[in-house]
Structures are given as structure tokens and as C-alpha cells.
Amino acid sequence: MQRCLMFVSVEGDANYTKFVVGKIKDVASDFGALCTGAGPTKKWLEQRYSSAYLRDPLMDAGILADTLETSVSWENLNQLWSEVRDYIKARPKTVCMVHLSHIYENGANLYFTFLTPMNKGDEVRDFVQFHKGIVDTVHANHGSISHHHGVGKMLAPWMPKEHDTASIELMRAIKKHLDPKGIMNPGTLGL
């Protein structure tokens, strides 16, 4: 007896998108869902990037806020969702939201968004430790450290757990070839 909201956006040829949206509506209707029309999706698309700009002001106000993404296969999705959410919610006074943003035949992309009070006077260590615990929980449940946002410096320490030595060496060789002076985004990916 709970409801959720699903935003749908299908790209491509007009006939194809009409067909796919129609099929989604049919399946949703079979399970008792209601179609609200295109309005909520259009509204979300207009404002979807604005929440990213709230992180720093919230942190300035003593609220730890962040979003982490992962990709995971269907057979591991429910367990990963549950374990990561449980880890985040184990922290007192924490709000945790999760949504799927990309769906594929073999799995999906999950976004975990959380807000929680910071430990005053120990904010940096608090953030790093909490963030590390989330990423370790994602990895322990067969999730990836990223989906489409990339890895960057914060997640670089987990690269060797996701890629074998040959893959890391290949990325290093490509980086060295394209950036011989090491001036483009140094330190990213731990390369």
C-alpha cells in the first residue's frame, strides 16, 4: 500500500518513443499505476541539476549531504539497495533517498542521496569516514564505484578493486600518451 513516482523519458524516433511509452503505460496500468501525464517529468527535467548546488551551502550549515551513484546487475540490485540504505540509515538523524535513473537489460543505476548532521569540529574526517563506509558497502554488494559521473579523485582509491592490473596499466599508458606532461586533471583516477 505504498506509492512511488516514476519519471519516464524515451529518446529516439517519434514512432519508437510513442510505442515504448505506450508499452510502459500498459504494464504500469496492469499493476494499478496511474498516469499523471508528462508534466512531472518535464518539471523534473527543468530542475534536475539545481539540487547539486545545494550540497555546499548545506555543508556550510553543518549538514552532510551528498549523492553517490552505482551500477549493479539485477540479481544484486535488491541486496545492494537494502545494505547500502541500511548502512546510511544506521547513522542517527539521517535521511536517505534512493532512485533508479538508468535501466538496462542486465541491471540498473542507483543513486543514493543522503542528508545527516555533521560531527561538529571533525567535519572532514566525519565525511571521509562515512563516505568510505558507503562505497565499501556498495563494493561488498557487487556494485560499481560509478555509473556515468566518472570516478575522480574521491573514488580513485577503489579503482584497483574494480579493474585488474592490466586495465589500470592500459589507462595509465593512454593518459601518458595523451597527456605526457601530466597537466590534465592530475591525480584523477589515481593515474
DSSP characters over 33-86: -----SHHHHHHHHHTTGGGGGHHHHHHTTEEEEEEEEEEEHHHHHHHHHHHHH
- Domain total of the chain: 3
The reply to whether 177 and 93 lie within a common domain is no
Q: Is residue 9 part of a domain?
A: no
Query: Would you place residue 40 in the very low, low, confident or very high pLDDT band (cuts 50, 70, 90)?
Result: confident
The reply to whether 79 and 120 lie within a common domain is yes
Per-residue confidence (pLDDT) for residue 184, from 0 to 100: 87
Question: Of 109, 107, 81, nearest to 96 (Cα)?
Answer: 81
Q: Is 187 left (phi over 0), alpha (psi -120 to 50) or beta?
A: left
List CB contacts of 79: < 8 A, sequence separation 6 or more. Answer: 141
Per-residue confidence (pLDDT) for residue 151, from 0 to 100: 81
The C-alpha cell that represents 31 in the structure block: 499493476
Question: Among all chains, which residue has been given the C-alpha cell 589507462?
Answer: 171
Taking residues 84-100, report their average pLDDT. 95
Per-residue confidence (pLDDT) for residue 74, from 0 to 100: 97
Taking residues 86-108, report their average pLDDT. 93
Q: Is residue 7 part of a domain?
A: no
Q: Is residue 141 part of a domain?
A: yes
Q: Is residue 6 part of a domain?
A: no
| Span 137-165, pLDDT tens digits | 999 999 998 888 878 888 888 888 888 99
Query: Would you place residue 110 in the very low, low, confident or very high pLDDT band (cuts 50, 70, 90)?
Result: very high
Q: How large a percentage of the chain has pLDDT more than 90?
A: 57
Domain that holds residue 42: 14-47
> In this structure, are residues 162 and 144 in contact, taking their beta carbons and an 8 Å threshold?
yes
Average predicted confidence (pLDDT) for the chain: 90
Per-residue confidence (pLDDT) for residue 86, from 0 to 100: 97
Per-residue confidence (pLDDT) for residue 154, from 0 to 100: 84
The reply to whether 55 and 136 lie within a common domain is yes
The reply to whether 76 and 127 lie within a common domain is yes
- pLDDT over 90 at 76, yes or no: yes
Per-residue confidence (pLDDT) for residue 1, from 0 to 100: 55
Per-residue confidence (pLDDT) for residue 161, from 0 to 100: 87
